[in-house]
Structure 1
Amino acid sequence: MARLILELPEQFTFTTEIPVLIGHINYGGHVGNDAILSLIHEARFRYLKQLGYCSELDIEGLGMIMTDTAIIYKAEAFHGETMLVQVTPQDFNKYGCDFIFKLTNQQTGKEIARAKTGIVFFDYLQRKVVEIPTEFRKKSQSNV
């Protein structure tokens, strides 16, 4: 199977610091693959919060669901370190967009992982995928 390749954008629109907690550590003594997904989820939530949204279930009255994920691991990370997580949305379409992430060890500058999550907007009352809210698109693209 061919290796995944994820090109990073030239710039990111949002950056946050997230400490590596003991719960992120696996039996190998480093951050587990499941923890990377949790870290990017936290970063996406913080990005949305700075746009004025307090929940992924209420983005202009609609929910957001993840359709796919790709994670490329570059290096180990350990308890007590701080992750610098950069986030930017891109590839907007009728129903959603992708979020691109770069996770770096804040102390050393070493890249730990890069990831992409695809999201679509979902009306939980109607139980169906719906068009991306215009206001979300405007807010997100004004930061790009």
Structure 2
Amino acid sequence: MARIRIEMPENYLFSTEIPLRISDINYGGHLGNDAVLSIIHEARVRFLKQYHYTEMDVEGASLIMSDTAIVYKAEGFYGDHIQVDVTVGDFNKYGCDIYYLLTNKKTAVEVAHAKTGVVFFDYDARKVRPIPDAFRSQMLKITS
């Protein structure tokens, strides 16, 4: 069976720390796969906030998820503090990818690699719209 591979960037624009809650732990006693999606959602909201954006307002456009990929690298346990490093890349006409590197803050062990594809969306018209030029320019300027 072919495995998902995510080519992780070398540099990140933002870093945040998220402690693992008991609700993040599954019946196997470790970080649940569903919780990883919740953690990267929180990290994305924090990342956007750093640039004075929200998922509903990025230069007048909203974000909508087009896809998600997660590769699990190691276990996480209740009480672990996970450092989530975030960056953007792979820009196209309507969106980009957001990358997340999840690392155990204490041990420096990588817990997961993740990527979400986002497209810009106009909720009033109910359709995708081109990526705002100001957002693309700002992100490209700071990732270069």
TM-score bracket, normalised by the shorter chain, equals over 0.9
Q: Which runs of 4+ in 1 moved over 2 A?
A: none
8 A contact 1:100–1:116 mirrored in 2: yes
Q: What is the 5 A alignment of 1:1-144?
A: 1-53=1-53, 55-144=54-143
Q: Secondary structure at the match of 2:47?
A: helix
Q: Matches of 2:74 and 2:67 in 1, distance apart?
A: 22
Alpha-carbon distance, 1:33 to partner: 0.4
Alpha-carbon distance, 1:138 to partner: 2.0
Kindly, what percent of the aligned residue pairs are identical? Answer: 58
Alpha-carbon distance, 1:143 to partner: 2.3
RMSD between aligned residues: 0.9
Alpha-carbon distance, 1:135 to partner: 1.4
Q: Matches of 1:65 and 1:50 in 2, distance apart?
A: 19
Alpha-carbon distance, 1:140 to partner: 1.8
Q: Which runs of 5+ in 1 are unaligned?
A: none
Q: Which runs of 5+ in 2 are unaligned?
A: none
Alpha-carbon distance, 1:13 to partner: 1.3
Q: Secondary structure at the match of 1:126?
A: coil
TM score, norm. by length of structure 1: 0.96
8 A contact 1:51–1:139 mirrored in 2: no
